[in-house]
Structure 1
Amino acid sequence: MEMTTHSTPNAQIRSFFLEGPAGRLEALLNAGKPDAQFAAVVCHPHPLYGGTMHNKVVYNAMKALRGFGFPVLRFNFRGTELSEGEHDYGAGERQDVQTALEWLKHEFSLPLIFAGFSFGAAVGLRAACPDPDVKALISLGTPVAAEGRSYTYEFLNECAKPKLFVSGDRDQFGPAERLYEVTAAAAEPKRFVLIHGADHFFAGQLESMKSAIEFWVRDTLLQPQRQ
């Protein structure tokens, strides 16, 4: 897969473009450690409502995963900032996620972690669940209904990969009672963390969200590998 880079080889953050099905996708890679056990991608919220890879939730999710030494890729969906193409209401964006996953496989040959926030979660989970190289899934601010759009997650009923769901109990796009239904129906293994006082964007609660990711990674993904 072709890549255009705009950084020095030793930079901790690489700025470049992925070659996607609708054109180039603007991307950032936070470098990992040589002995990294996973590589990860984090997907951003709805681009028509200001979502980009620089979103605070996306950034803090990256920090949580990068803290374990994992290389973490962020990118802008088609039609967002410098990414080419046009918004495709989910279908094309799923292809964008697949492009990012394939790049990570080629670049690192490591098992993958998918993480997404809001629209990025709803779209990315559909791309990541059937991918055999994706070993774990993180859904932040899982949307159920937003601005007239509804999201369904029946496909998670057959997705037997470790899954973490983190939302606020004041999430305006994912009421707790609806999220309990979604997570209850999802296949095991899974964990649902509801952060008290947090809204959809985890305003004032980003550290709590970040801590939830860190605890789950240590407890679910790294602990079983220790001797």
Structure 2
Amino acid sequence: MSERVDTIQFSGQAGVIDCALDWPAGEPRGWALLLHPHPLHGGARNNKVVTTLSRSATQHGLLAVRPDFRGVGKSAGEFDSSRGETADMLALIEQFPSHFPQWNAGPAMLAGFSFGTAVAAQVYASLQDAQAPLPSAFVLAGTAVNRFRFQDVSPPADTLLVHGETDDVVPLSEGMDFAREHQLPMVVLPDAGHFFHGKLIQLRELVSRHLVALGT
């Protein structure tokens, strides 16, 4: 998947946040934070959609950070319906420069899949509220933000929304409701289910083209 995979731990409100680090081939020019689906339904950082997002990031020269949410793998705590998970990701972003001082402006890319979209959207909103540096690339796949939203969110106009036409976990209509609410275009992959089986290469190429277009 990448030239090298390491692990690193940060400290959240519930304890350890255990993460995988996927390194690009050359010297990284920034980092990406990639968030996984629902922990109580088997979601973890090695989910194939998340690792596909990681491939796009590393091929673009970014160090990809894939945390396990609370209660998954070696990460401490219990599922907290996106509230605690959002706080943990903000703590990770705050602590990141102490490990990698060359990147003190936050992630260049923030992305989530399914439940991870809710956490990503609320992390983005919290960074906006704090007037902190914002990711230049914001990617949501299988958007389920409204299921776990506890604060207002205002995604940027260049957000990349991707949804499967035949998603039976988060119906396309639900993704469209979010897109309509925020007046965002959405890319719909024909015949794709929630986990984008058989469509992961398309997803990777979509994200890669988005990163190139943004100059991330």
Aligned-partner Cα distance in 2 for 1:89–1:176: 22
Q: Deviations over 1:146-169 (max 9, x none)?
A: xxxx3559834x333531111100
Shift of 1:180: 2.1
- RMSD value over aligned CA atoms? 2.3
TM-score for the superposition, normalised by structure 2:
0.84
Residues of 2 paired with 1:169 and 1:144: CA distance?
18
Specify the alignment match of 2:38 in structure 1: 46
Residue 85 of structure 2 aligns with which residue? 93
Q: CA deviation at 1:176?
A: 2.3
Partners of 1:39 and 1:67 in 2: how far apart?
Answer: 12
SS in structure 2 opposite 1:170? coil
Unaligned runs of at least 5 residues, structure 1: 1-10
Which residue does 2:119 correspond to in 1?
Answer: 123
Letter in 2 for 1:63: R
Distance 1:35 1:175, change over 3 A: closer
Structure with the greater relative contact order (CA < 8 A, sep ≥ 6): 1 or 2? 2
Identity %: 26
The one of 183, 189, 192 equivalent to 1:198 is 192
Shift of the 104–192 alpha-carbon distance from structure 1 to 2, 3 Å rule, reads farther
CA distance in 1 between counterparts of 2:97 and 2:186 reads: 28
Q: Is the 8 A contact 2:82 2:148 kept in 1?
A: no
Residue pairs, 1:144-159, within 5 angstroms: 150-151=147-148, 155-156=152-153, 158-159=154-155
Instruction: Report the alpha carbon displacement of residue 114 of structure 1 after superposing the two structures with TM.
Output: 0.7
Q: Secondary structure at the residue paired with 2:61? A: coil
Letter matched to residue 34 of structure 1 = E
Per-residue CA deviations over 1:122-163 (Å, capped at 9, x if unaligned) read 122111233132223111111278xxxx3559834x333531
Q: Does the CA-based 8 Å contact 1:165-1:193 persist in structure 2? A: yes
How far apart, CA to CA, are the structure 2 residues paired with 1:153 and 1:66? Answer: 31
Classify the secondary structure of the residue corresponding to 2:152. helix
Q: Is the 8 A contact 1:39 1:104 kept in 2?
A: no
User: Retained in 2: the 8 A contact 1:44–1:52?
Assistant: yes
Using the TM superposition, give the Cα deviation of residue 14 of structure 1 relative to its aligned residue in structure 2, in angstroms: 1.7
Query: Could you tell me the TM-score, scaled by structure 1's length?
Result: 0.81
Equivalent pair of 2:11/2:92 in contact (CA under 8 Å): no
Name 1:83's counterpart in structure 2.
Answer: 75
The residue that corresponds to 1:166 in the other structure is 162
Residues 178-197 of structure 1 aligned to structure 2 (within 5 Å): 178-186=174-182, 190-197=184-191
Count the aligned residue pairs.
204
Number of the residue aligned with 1:216: 210
String of CA shifts for 1:16-42, please: whole Å, max 9, x gaps.
Answer: 211111111111111244361x32100
Looking at structure 1, the residues matched to 113 and 47 of structure 2 have their Cα atoms a distance apart, in angstroms, of 9
